[in-house]
Amino acid sequence: MDVLLKKDVERLGSKDEIVSVKNGYGRNYLIPKGLAVLATTSIKKMHAETEKQRALKNEKIREEATATLAKLTKKTFNVPAKVGENGKIFGSVTNVQVADLLTKEGFIVDRKNIKLLTDNIKSVGKYEAEITLYKDVKGKITFEVAEG
């Protein structure tokens, strides 16, 4: 029996996946609990169309992310910081400040998707950060911490 999963089921499959299960398991557990629906020919056709649409949408998002990443990697960003003696800054620069700077420059990147390659940034200088714009679209940006 083929069923279309409505939710993730451990050791069986993930949401929107068509899987084969034994008749009793499908009829007595998956379908009554609302975890799956019987995969008839019409449901299989709808599922194929949905997957096709989803693939097109994901490809468009991936292309946009790749174009944005190309723009980001070409540019060096300046992070202003309050600087004390000997080039030491007050506090430290985190991914939050980098995300705010990118937002001001017109690039919207979630702070959770920015990983600083150097731990505590506490002095003036050039640094790198790894950003993730989509599942497999990752790259490095350079930024400079300067007095400001």
pLDDT digits (tens, 9 = 90+) for 81-139: 888 888 788 888 888 999 999 999 998 899 999 999 888 888 888 999 999 998 889 99
Give all domains of the chain, ordered by start, each with its CATH number: 2-60 (3.40.5.10), 64-147 (3.10.430.100)
How confident is the model at residue 23, as a pLDDT?
Answer: 96
Task: Give the residue-averaged pLDDT of 39-54.
Answer: 94
- pLDDT of 81: 87
Give the β-pairing of 76-81 and 137-147. parallel
pLDDT in tens, 53-65: 999 999 999 999 9
Query: From CA 107, how far away is CA 69, in angstroms rounded?
Result: 10
pTM: 0.68
pLDDT-derived band at 18 (thresholds 50, 70, 90) equals: very high
